Amino acid sequence: MSDLLRALAGETVDRTPVWFMRQAGRSLPEYRELRVGTRMLDACLTPDLAAEITLQPVRRHGVDAAVFFSDIVIPLRLAGVEVEIVPGRGPVFANPARTADDVERLIAIDPATLDGDAIAAAVRIVTAELGDTPLIGFAGAPFTLAAYLVEGGPSKEHLRARAMMHADPVSWHRLAGWLAAVSRRFLETQRDAGASVVQLFDSWAGSLSTADYRSYVAPHSREVIDGIGVPAIHFGVGTGPFLTDMRLDGAASAVGVDWRMPLDEAIGILGPDVAVQGNIDPALLQAPWPVLEAHVRDVIARGRGAKGHILNLGHGVPPETDPDQLTRIVALAHGEL
Ligand code: CP3
């Protein structure tokens, strides 16, 4: 079994397994070269291209896992929702889902009808080349998807999605339940084609109060991963105030921790029966190597008390990162430095 799967199962590993959120992307010159002339979502739905981009960081850095090159809005595109990713901005929807009628129109689309063939084809190419290295499949959590879909695009405080919870709770729960089914289907497609771990991204959950997270969000996120049959990592940014809720009543095998809270403190809160992932501060990637090295050693040391520790950043790789910094972190985690 690979070190990543062992760490997720709480078994002892000789070397700390490591991968990076957004490892497949703009920090790599070989990625930028391949992407010339192809729009983001079209690249995701071209199996050869998506597979090649997924494999690039594994070859370059020797990370312990690949993460599937795709996007959290891809299953919405597959459901026929009009969405584009605008460079430098993020997902933009032609028809935001703001009213009860908007929500009803949207949820009339049956998630079972999503055509996952391009996804499955890409995953099969990747897993054939990876051998024992696991492929991590992923999906967006209902709240993070709603943060874009209700607003119509990126926003700072996700006010429209959070407002819907209280102004029209019935529509909110119908929308979040549908988004959960769509993301579940996306995960199952990746799992069935060979992904051996999944990660649920609730990147913007940190804008919620603990009470709203519990009542309006956690039950829907749980639906996405509960009983999925492979280990599930649940990640969010700014979720310190409700970190234990991120375990989703045991549905998550590991909880992702951002850079704000020292890992040992997070482990103390989460308890001894769940693995953790994190939490190198992405800002430190800009620091001279000796500074970054000391930080990474500290993160590894603080992770020792966990049931299992997967080394990662506290959020995604910033585009301006020198890729050699990432390669050095992998070597350090593997005891080669
Ligand atoms: O390497 C990986 O982690 C795998 C691929 C991946 C992408 N998006 C590729 C991508 C993953 C896991 C995601 C998830 C995703 N997408 C999230 C959750 C993770 C997170 O970062 O919090 C979110 C919020 C999105 C939505 C999204 N897609 C945003 C905000 C952006 C950035 C827009 C920009 O240009 O600044 C994207 C685009 C995107 N997704 C890129 C990549 C490689 C950049 C596209 C490009 O090359 O121009």
Q: pLDDT of 22-31, one tens digit each?
A: 999 999 999 9
pLDDT of residue 76: 98
CA of 27 to the centre of ligand 1 (A): 12
CA of 110 to the centre of ligand 1 (A): 25
Cβ atoms 247, 235 nearer than 8 A? no
| Residue of 18, 19, 20, 22 with the most ligand 1 atoms within 8 Å of its CB, for mutation | 22
CATH number of 3-333: 3.20.20.210
Cβ atoms 178, 150 nearer than 8 A? no
Q: Is 218 annotated as a binding residue?
A: no
List pocket residues of ligand 1, CB cut-off 6 Å: 21-26, 35, 40, 67, 69-72, 85, 87-91, 138, 144, 201, 203, 316
Q: Is 25 annotated as a binding residue?
A: yes
**Region 101-118 average pLDDT:** 97
pLDDT band at 310 (very low <50, low <70, confident <90, very high): very high
Catalytically active residues are: 22, 26, 35, 71, 148
pLDDT of residue 57: 98
pLDDT band at 61 (very low <50, low <70, confident <90, very high): very high
pLDDT tens figures, 202-242:
999 999 999 999 999 999 999 999 999 999 999 999 999 99
Beta pairing, strands 66-67 & 135-140: parallel
* Percent residues over pLDDT 90 in the chain: 100
Output the pTM of the full model. Answer: 0.98
**Which residues contact residue 175 at a Cβ distance below 8 angstroms, ignoring those fewer than 6 apart?**
97, 103, 106, 107, 142, 146, 149, 150, 164
Cβ atoms 138, 70 nearer than 8 A? yes
Residue closest via CA to ligand 1's atom 11 equals: 71
CA of 21 to the centre of ligand 1 (A): 9
Residue closest via CA to ligand 1's atom 20 equals: 203
Q: Is 27 left (phi over 0), alpha (psi -120 to 50) or beta?
A: alpha
Domain residue extents for the chain: 3-333
Buried b (16+ CB within 10 A) or exposed e, 260-283: ebebbebbeebeeebbbbbbbbbe
pLDDT of residue 13: 96
Q: Is 273 annotated as a binding residue?
A: no
Residue closest via CA to ligand 1's atom 33 equals: 90
pLDDT of residue 89: 97
pLDDT of residue 214: 98
> Which one-letter amino acid corresponds to residue 191?
R
| Residue of 46, 69, 85 with the most ligand 1 atoms within 8 Å of its CB, for mutation | 85
84/36 Cα distance (integer angstroms): 17
Q: Is 26 annotated as a binding residue?
A: yes
Q: What are phi and psi of 225, to 5 degrees?
A: -115, -15
